[in-house]
Amino acid sequence: MEVLIFITALLLDLIFGEPPLKVHPVYWFGKIVQFFDKFDLGKLNFFWGFLCTTSCITFATILALIPFPVWEIYLLFSSISIKSMVDHVKRCLPDMKVEEVQKIVSRDVSKLNYPQRCSAVIESTSENFVDGFFSPLFYYSIFGIVGAMVYKAVNICDAMIGYRKGKYEKFGKFAARLDDVLNFIPARISLIFYEMMRRGSASFALKYNPKINGCSMAAMAYVLGVKLEKPGYYVIPGGREPELKDVEKTIKIFYKLCLISSVFCIILLMLKTYLIY
């Protein structure tokens, strides 16, 4: 049953992309975070952030425990992103429009030149492969829909409050660290898939990993043979400056990675079923 749910969720994402905003679990998690974000408790901000994140986790668990296969398909479908990610990237082409690139990265795009905007899009796509696709499916394969939804809740909390500035330094710390922990293993497993794209990707990524779970970005830089850069923060020395053709190639690699990792997760599901029964 889990394999059928898995495949159905993938097909729904490829056909329809994201569910409508108001009925998207991510929207519901966001509303919880926004409630907590209204308050600044000073020295108690870490505890307040902990309470915010655990509230989202609790809500995600409650959603996942509703025992209907169709509901489980919907939740898994809502936890992954292939079509919408590719659509976002395509809207940036061919000029790397500032307003479109800004929608998928947090840095100030207006200060970036063309190659740096290409880099930002490539980085976002490679990160999204892990955060927005492989990690939720990996946790689904091991822990079922509860695993996928809890991961997604933590990831949304990190995306919204996991910053090192102002009150978020403490308020978002628990969410950011928990997201790092949950992505640590999937990010490194992803290097196996990149290795299938180009031999040497894994060793390069581990050497030039720009942050704790930036393996996927470094591996993508190596596969493309380009330099990826977030000015003032890091440079991944993969080769020449990125161009339009590299962004277009990234979309193709993204699709391949999603296919390979899906097969990997289906094998995990089948092994789990065999070991249980």
| pLDDT tens sequence across 56-72 | 999 999 999 999 999 99
The secondary structure element, H or E, covering residue 234 is strand 234-237
Q: Give the mean pLDDT of the chain.
A: 94
The secondary structure element, H or E, covering residue 236 is strand 234-237
Q: Is the pLDDT of residue 107 over 70?
A: yes
Let me know: does 224 contact 201? Beta carbons within 8 Å.
Answer: no
pLDDT at 166: 85
> What gap in Å lies between CA 57 and CA 105, rounded to an integer?
25
| Average pLDDT over every residue of 218-242 | 95
The percentage of the chain sitting over the pLDDT mark of 90, rounded to a whole number, equals 88
pLDDT confidence tier of residue 276, bands split at 50, 70 and 90: confident
Q: Is the pLDDT of residue 77 over 70?
A: yes
| Average pLDDT over every residue of 151-162 | 96
| Average pLDDT over every residue of 198-202 | 96
| Average pLDDT over every residue of 137-162 | 96
Let me know: does 161 contact 172? Beta carbons within 8 Å.
Answer: yes
Q: Is the pLDDT of residue 106 over 90?
A: no
Let me know: does 76 contact 6? Beta carbons within 8 Å.
Answer: yes
Q: Is the pLDDT of residue 277 over 80?
A: no
What backbone phi and psi angles, to 5 degrees, belong to 55?
Answer: -65, -40
pLDDT at 72: 96
> What gap in Å lies between CA 272 and CA 76, rounded to an integer?
18
Let me know: does 216 contact 194? Beta carbons within 8 Å.
Answer: yes
| Average pLDDT over every residue of 92-111 | 91
Let me know: does 69 contact 3? Beta carbons within 8 Å.
Answer: no
Count of C-beta atoms within a 10 Å radius of residue 263: 10
- Which residue stretches of the chain are H helix? 2-16, 25-37, 45-64, 69-79, 83-92, 98-101, 114-129, 135-143, 145-161, 168-171, 173-197, 201-208, 215-224, 244-276
Residue among 93, 81, 248 at smallest CA distance from 159: 81
Q: Is the pLDDT of residue 274 over 80?
A: no
pLDDT at 273: 78
Q: Is the pLDDT of residue 122 over 70?
A: yes
Where b means 16+ CB within 10 Å and e means fewer, 191-224 reads bebbbebeeebbebbeebbbeebbbbbbbbbbbb
> What gap in Å lies between CA 83 and CA 43, rounded to an integer?
42
Q: Is the pLDDT of residue 164 over 90?
A: no
β-bridge mates for residue 228, sequence order: 236
| Average pLDDT over every residue of 10-30 | 94
pLDDT at 226: 97
What backbone phi and psi angles, to 5 degrees, belong to 124?
Answer: -60, -40
pLDDT confidence tier of residue 272, bands split at 50, 70 and 90: confident
